[in-house]
Amino acid sequence: MIHILLRDLEIPDIWQFDTYTANGGYDGLKKAVHDLSPAETIQIVMDSNLRGRGGAGFSTGRKWSFIPKDAETTYVVVNADESEPGTFKDRQLLEKNPHQVIEGAMLAAYAIQAAAVYVYCRGEFWDLAHALEDRIEEARQANLVGDDILGTGWDCDVHVHLGAGAYICGEESALLNSLQGLLGQPRVRPPFPAQMGGGLYYQPTVVNNVETLANVPWIIVNGADAYKKIGTPESPGTKIFCVSGHVAKPGNYEIPLGLTFRELIYDHAGGILNGKRLKAILPSGASGPVLKATDEVLDAPLTYESVAALGSTLGSASFILMDEDTDMVWAAAKMIHFFKDESCGKCTPCREGTYWLDKIYARLLRGEGTAHDLEMLEKVPNQIAGVTLCALGDFAVNPVLATLEHFRDEYEQYIHQPEFGPEPAQAL
């Protein structure tokens, strides 16, 4: 199995500067600054069809190409907020293979001729952030970061910033506000971050996820065609799946995109805990629609396009498995409670809508739900989805609509058999 990202599985000390460089580390950056123009660097990444691993799956090269050529000051921001429930891949990359993330960020910075790189880490990553500063200093001492990089006259430093632990600060425009010392709430767009007025300090900015950037050194060294040979044409490369929930071997699995759900769950992650039957899959954490674990789903390839065709999203691949004993109304209630807590409150449909949904679920779980509540669960999402300032509003309705679609009988049970429901300790 090829590991482009989780190379620590083969080279345990790759977090150390000397080990990283002895295994080809920083060769991509050296190649770019000596042999490639910024435009050529962008073109290689565009040709590779690398898609963003932070959630939306947008073309990384295209995103870089949106930076205006005449911009005087540009920035690269590394999104290390890793806030999606069930996602824990960026942490492993930053802990175990940090120089590859730094090199990827420097390649992005070279491509857009950035003045600086900021790594925005979630607040809980404070120990990791301090260690990352040490790794950056090693790169600085080797003239790979800082002033006059590799004697080319290009200056670009890397700074680490700690957030305060809010889900919404993973959303790129809220992240930029937080980085600027403002309230961590999304911005009205356009302008988008890559445009003048939309980025960090209102300068054109590329925001990329940690895992996205960690792919770039390999692509620059080996070329776009070699990268496209892994995975599928629309979803090339490998992807780290963070597998958790009722699974025998939870953990991060880096596999080529295009393997099936069944291969990931049963061949790699050891199947379902205690030999139970798999009931449902959240392929992208709380933010994407839950899928019923049918044969059609299990035999489908794990690619951006095929998961979308199944009615869900690949997102950041926070892959949460639920066994036959899972109460899906309770699971939806937990997710709604999360979104209600994490709504930043800037726009009314999300702020009020998640609050109403949370109240309805609490009523259902107490055994006090009515048929009217079920009607409301169908109506309220229409007042939220598509009319909010950021995607959190759209994410928030997914647990409701998808569980109603696939597991409606469980809602009916809550209404017609009030004694049905979770143990008191599980209730909200």
Taking phi over 0 as left and psi of -120 to 50 as alpha, with beta for the rest, 88 belongs to: alpha
- Quick one: 119 or 347, whose CB is closer to ligand SF4? 347
Which partner, ligand SF4, ligand FMN, none, binds residue 144 by CB below 5 to 8 Å per kind?
none
385 binding ligand FMN? (CB under 6 A) = no
Rounded to an integer, what is the distance from CA 202 to the centroid of its chain? 24
Interaction between residue 390 and ligand FMN (CB under 6 A):
yes
Q: Which is nearer to ligand FMN, 374 or 396 (CB)?
A: 396
Which residue carries 């060769």 as its tokens?
A: 27
- Which of the ranges 196-204, 303-311, 340-348, 361-369 carries the binding residues for ligand SF4, by CB under 6 A? 340-348
The yes or no reply on residue 84 touching ligand FMN (CB under 6 A) is yes
380 token code pair: 């309220």
Establish if 326 lies at the interface with ligand SF4 (CB under 6 A). no
Comparison of 271 and 399: residue with beta carbon closer to ligand FMN: 399
> Contact at 8 Å (CB) between 10 and 84?
no
Q: Which is nearer to ligand FMN, 17 or 125 (CB)?
A: 125
Closest CA to 279 of 267, 264, 263, 297: 297
Question: How many angstroms separate the CA atoms of 2 and 255, rounded?
Answer: 8
Burial class (CB in 10 A: 0-12, 13-18, 19+), 12: exposed
Q: Would you call the peptide bond into 289 cis, given omega within 30 degrees of 0 as the criterion? A: no
Residue 350 interacting partner from ligand FMN, ligand SF4, none (CB closer than 5 to 8 Å by kind): ligand SF4
Q: Per rule CB under 6 A, is residue 175 in the interface with ligand SF4?
A: no
With H, G, I as helix, E, B as strand and everything else as coil, classify residue 162. Answer: strand
For position 7 contacting ligand SF4 by CB under 6 A, the verdict is no
Residue 332 vs 415, nearer CB to ligand FMN: 332
- Would you count residue 392 as binding ligand SF4 (CB under 6 A)? yes
Judge whether 21 and 267 are in contact, CB under 8 Å. no
CA distance 115 to 157: 7
Q: Is 126 in the site for ligand FMN (CB under 6 A)?
A: no
52 binds ligand FMN (CB under 6 A): yes
Q: Does 350 bind ligand SF4 (CB under 6 A)?
A: yes
Task: Give the integer Cα–Cα distance in Å for 264 and 261.
Answer: 5
Question: In this chain, which of 123, 165, 345, 418 binds ligand SF4, going by CB under 6 A?
Answer: 345
Separation CA 280–CA 266 (nearest Å):
14
Per residue, what are the HEC states of 22-60? Answer: HCCCCHHHHHHHHHCCHHHHHHHHHHHCCECCCCCCCEH
Give the DSSP H/E element, type plus range, for residue 286.
Answer: none
Q: Which stretch binds ligand FMN (CB under 6 A): 76-84, 143-151, 326-334, 346-354?
A: 76-84
**Contact of residue 187 among ligand FMN, ligand SF4, none (CB under 5-8 Å per partner type):** none
Q: How far is the CB of 76 from ligand FMN (least distance, A)?
A: 11
Minimum separation from the CB atom of position 351 to ligand SF4 (A)? 5
Regarding 115 and contact with ligand SF4 (CB under 6 A), the answer is no
For binding to ligand SF4 (CB under 6 A), which residues are involved?
168, 185-186, 343-347, 350-351, 388-390, 392-393
For binding to ligand FMN (CB under 6 A), which residues are involved?
52-56, 58, 63, 79, 81-84, 167-168, 170-172, 207-209, 212, 390-392
